[in-house]
Structure 1
Amino acid sequence: MFPRSRREFLPFIKDHWRSLLFLLLGVMIPFALFTQLSHEIFREGGFEWDQAVLNWYAQRRTPGLTRFAQLLAQLGGVSVLPFVTFAIAWLLGQTRGKAHGWFLVTGVVGAILLNVAAKVVFQRPRPDELVAVLTEPGYSFPSGHAMANAAFGIALTLVFWRSRAGWPVAVFGALWAVAVGASRNYLGVHYPSDVLAGFTASATWVAGVYILMRRRWPQLRRSPAGPQDTLGEPPAAQS
C-alpha cells in the first residue's frame, strides 16, 4: 500500500487521501490527545479546570436535570448499552450486514474492556463525594460511560455512513456521546478530563479496528443495505 519511492509519493497521496485523512483524524490525533491527557493525570495529578467545571455543574443542578442525567447513566451503562449493541448487530446480520454487526460489537465491547484495563493502570480516584449526586465504585480515569457510548456512536456512524441514514446517524451518535459524557460531569462522578480521555480513546480504538477489519472484510467499505463504498474509493485503490 505504501509508496516505495519519492516518485510514487504524490500519486499515492492522490489515490489514498481519504484513507490517510481518516487515519489522521480517527487514530493519530485522538491518540496524541489521549496520550497528553494520560501524561497530565499520571505525572501531574490532573488539571486545574477539572474541579472548576464540576463546581459549575453543581451550581446549576435541578431535580429535573438530575433525573435526566441519571436516566442517561442507566441507558448508557453496562446494563443496557451492550444489549442494544448486540440487538443492532443481529439486525445488521439479517440485512447483509454481518461484517458490520461484528465490527459494531467489537468496537463497543472492546472499548469497555480497554476501559477496565486503563482504570487499573491509572487508578485515579473519583471526584470528592461532596460534589457528587451519587456514589459509584471503581476508579475515575477514563470514564467508562464516555468511552463505551463514544465507541457506540462512532462505530454506528461508520456502519451507516454510506447509507441514506449516514448523516442522521452521525448527528445522533455525536449528540448521544456528548450527552452521556456531560451527564457524568453533571452527576459529579467523573472529572471532565476523564470524559475527554474516554472520547479520544474510543476514537482511536474504533477507527483502528475499522481500518484492520475492512482489510479482512471488504464489505465493511459498503453500506449494509447497498453496494456503495464507504470511503468513496474503488476497492482496488484501498488494498
Structure 2
Amino acid sequence: MLVRVALLATAVLLVVVGAGLVLAAQGGWTAAEMNFLRRVNLAHTPQLDSVAMGINWLFGPAVAPALVVLGCGVVFLVERRALSALQFLVIVTLPWMGNEAVKALVGRPRPDIVSLPHILVLEPGGLSFPSGHTSFAACLLLGMILTIRGRRWRAPLIATAIVVVLATAGSRVYLGVHYPTDVAASIVYSVAAVTLINVVWLLLMTHWARRRPGAARRSRSFR
C-alpha cells in the first residue's frame, strides 16, 4: 500500500514539473495571467494589503526556519516523542527544499511586477513556478497533520491548514509576485512531496524496526 502511494505521489510530482515546463514555454498563457494580475492589483485595500504583507513576512525565508523549529517543538510537546519531531522536520524541510529545485528546473520568470500600478513587494527577476511561500505554508501544516496523531487535534488542524494555505496562495496573487498557476501548482506539489517523503520515512522506520536486535524474537512471541 505504501509503495503504491509513493508511486502515485511521484507521478503527481512529474505532472507538476511537466505542467511547469509547458507554462514556461507558453507566452500567450503567461500574458493572460499577467493581465489577470493587473486587474487584481487594482482592487487593493489597506486592510487586504496588511494581511498580504503579514503573510509575506510570516512565510518568507527570514521567518520560515524559526517556524520549522517551533513546529518541531510543538510536535514534541504534544506527542512526547523525539522521533515524531524528527519526522516533522524531515517531511517539511525536504519538500520545501525540493520546491526550489523544481523552480530551477522549470525556469519560469516571475511576473512583471514593476508594471503593476500598485506595488507592495518589489521582487524583480527570480523564478516563479511554484510559489515558495505557498509551498512552505502547505508543507508546514501538512507536517503537523501527519505527525500530531491525536483525534482531537486532527479536525482543527485540517481546517486551519485549508484556510491558511488558501489565504497564502491568494496573497501571492494579490501582491502580484506569482501567477495563479504558480500557487495552484505549489499546493499540488506540496501535498505530493510531503506524502512521498512521509511514505519513505515510514518505510525506513519499518525496515529499521525489523532489523533492531530482538525484533524477530518479539515478532515470534506475538504469533
Shared fold per TM-score greater than 0.5 = yes
Range into which the TM-score falls when normalised by the shorter chain? 0.7 to 0.9
Q: How does 1:20-169 map to 2 (within 5 A)?
A: 27=9, 30-31=12-13, 33-45=15-27, 47=29, 49-94=32-77, 95-128=79-112, 129-131=114-116, 132-136=119-123, 138-169=126-157
Deviation at 1:194, TM superposition (A): 1.4
Is residue 150–residue 199 contact of structure 1 (8 Å, CA) maintained in 2?
A: yes
2:111 match: secondary structure: coil
Candidates 141, 151, 158, aligned match of 1:170: 158
Is 1:213 the counterpart of 2:201? The answer is yes
Structure 1 residues 45, 122: CA separation in 2 closer, same or farther (over 3 Å shift)?
farther
Deviation at 1:121, TM superposition (A): 2.5
Structure 1 unaligned spans of 5+? 1-15, 219-239
Deviation at 1:80, TM superposition (A): 1.8
Percent of residue pairs bearing the same amino acid type:
25
Higher helix fraction (1 or 2): 2
Structure 1 residues 35, 112: CA separation in 2 closer, same or farther (over 3 Å shift)?
closer
Determine the structure 2 residue equivalent to 1:202.
190
1:135 partner amino acid: L
Is residue 30–residue 203 contact of structure 1 (8 Å, CA) maintained in 2?
A: no
Structure 1 residues 91, 133: CA separation in 2 closer, same or farther (over 3 Å shift)?
closer
Deviations along 1:83-138, one digit per CA (max 9) or x if unpaired, are: 12212213433443322222222222223322222222333221112224321252
1:217 match: secondary structure: helix
Deviation at 1:173, TM superposition (A): 1.1
Structure 1 residues 98, 38: CA separation in 2 closer, same or farther (over 3 Å shift)?
same
2:36 partner amino acid: V
Q: Structure 2: how far apart are the matches of 1:168 and 1:31?
A: 28
Structure 2 unaligned spans of 5+? 207-223
Is residue 37–residue 193 contact of structure 1 (8 Å, CA) maintained in 2?
A: no
Q: Which runs of 4+ in 1 moved over 6 A?
A: none
RMSD value, Cα: 2.5
1:164 match: secondary structure: helix
Q: TM-score, normalised by structure 2?
A: 0.78
Q: Structure 2: how far apart are the matches of 1:122 and 1:164?
A: 40
Q: Structure 2: how far apart are the matches of 1:205 and 1:106?
A: 11
Determine the structure 1 residue equivalent to 2:168.
180
Structure 1 residues 162, 47: CA separation in 2 closer, same or farther (over 3 Å shift)?
farther
Is residue 28–residue 204 contact of structure 1 (8 Å, CA) maintained in 2?
A: yes
Structure 1 residues 83, 59: CA separation in 2 closer, same or farther (over 3 Å shift)?
same
Q: TM-score, normalised by structure 1?
A: 0.73
2:130 match: secondary structure: coil
Count of aligned residue pairs for this structure pair: 200
